[in-house]
Amino acid sequence: MKKFIGSLVIILSFIFHSFGQINPIENLTWSQWYEFPNNYFILEWEGPAMPHDDLIGYNVYREDDLYRFQEETSLFNLVEGSNCETDFLFYNDGSPFYAHVTAVYNPDAIESTYTQTVMVDGLALNVVDVNQYSPIIYPNPTTGILNIENKNIDKIIVLDLNGKFIRELEAKPQIDVSQLSKGIYFLQLTINGKKTIKKFIKE
């Protein structure tokens, strides 16, 4: 009897796993580009070829963290408009991450597995060398003065939380951000011709 129950559990587990694999989303694609001072992107996919129940929408994930549920088959921030602004890119301090999408079915919001992932470049600055030449900035949070541990700074630009241009500062290891309102900002630093970003908090 125990052997039979054990076999039944294995079979049911296999069926459940296989059932979950049957109808994931298809043709997941990612495009991203930077046109100063904006980050543009589109994550799009096709619904399951043969939904096994009423399809109610999709869960969009950044790594294993659920970003949001939506009914549309794309997530975008384009010149023509946006359905998420650039906050999708602000994950793990703007570093690259993997994204995937699952199908969500009725009843009880049953979720499919996923078979496709895409690499998102994070907060794109020409989408190259985003994480290289990344200096330490301190103190962070700051009330006004930020120190940058690098003497080869070519350019410093302050961006808001949506990646939009605020101002350009003199390229030096110590900068004054006291005129900024309280909040979260990003420094776009060009060092030895390479661009990187650092998040800081103005108190």
pLDDT per position as a tens digit, 84-108 = 878 898 888 778 899 999 999 987 8
Q: Give me the CATH code for the 2-120 domain, please.
A: 2.60.40.10
Mean pLDDT along residues 3-16: 46
Cis ω for the linkage preceding 135 (within 30 of 0): no
Q: Dig out the tokens for 104 from the structure.
A: 């969500």
Residues across the chain: 203
Cβ count near 173 (within 10 Å): 14
80: pLDDT strictly greater than 60: yes
pLDDT of 119-171, one tens digit each? 898 876 543 444 444 678 899 899 999 999 876 788 898 988 767 788 999 99
**Which part of the chain has CATH 2.60.40.10?**
2-120
Given CATH 2.60.40, say whether it is the number of domain 137-202: yes
Question: Is the whole model's pTM more than 0.85, yes or no?
Answer: no
